[in-house]
Amino acid sequence: MKLYTKKGDLGMTQLIGGTKVSKDSERVRAYGTMDELNSWLGYSITFCEGPAVVFVEELQEIQQCLFDAGRDLATVSDHPVYIFHEKNIDWLEKRIDFYSDHSPQIKQFILPGGSRTAAVLHVARTVTRRLERQIVALQKYSSINEVVLKYVNRLSDYFFAAARYANVLNKVDDVFYDNTREGFH
């Protein structure tokens, strides 16, 4: 299979179901950001060393889920077959609960950072939040698989909880926001 057609696409792409849309459409923007997040997770896995290696299998499973969810985002509304289901959300919630139960209680705002693994997971969290905003924008114009939006919302919580647990595993403290500092003057 060739990666190119030699015809050019004139800024258009074909969705599942055959509809052609502009590459700057809300739908393409949303599943494009999902692809970006998936790529970021592939990069993040390279930071899962030592005790943080426990995240590798989970992040790869999330990559698989994102591929399925991206397929649903690329499916036009009159194409009724969605493949992404609630069971993916249930799994995330169990992992969030585990990581939260095994991390220190939150008593103040936490800044992104700590260990290298936590830092890349925090970036994944912020890309996920952007993805969520783009899916919300898309659903104003087109129907979507609502399970995908719920999953993405929960996924950002997962990355936050996993980042905190990565710091626990790496014996690194969370970085706390200090609202009493005077800053550099």
Predicted pLDDT at 185: 62
Entry pTM: 0.92
What are the residues whose beta carbons fall under 8 Å from the beta carbon of 131, sequence distance 6 or more?
30, 33, 34, 37, 152
Mean pLDDT of 103-120: 95
Domains in the chain (CATH in brackets) are: 22-77+86-176 (1.20.1200.10)
> Contact at 8 Å (CB) between 142 and 134?
no
The pLDDT confidence band at residue 41, using thresholds 50, 70 and 90, is very high
Distance CA 135, CA 90 (A): 20
Mean pLDDT of 56-73: 96
Tell me the angle at which helices 116-139 and 146-169 cross, rounded to the nearest 10 degrees: 170
DSSP assigned state of 185:
-
Predicted pLDDT at 59: 98
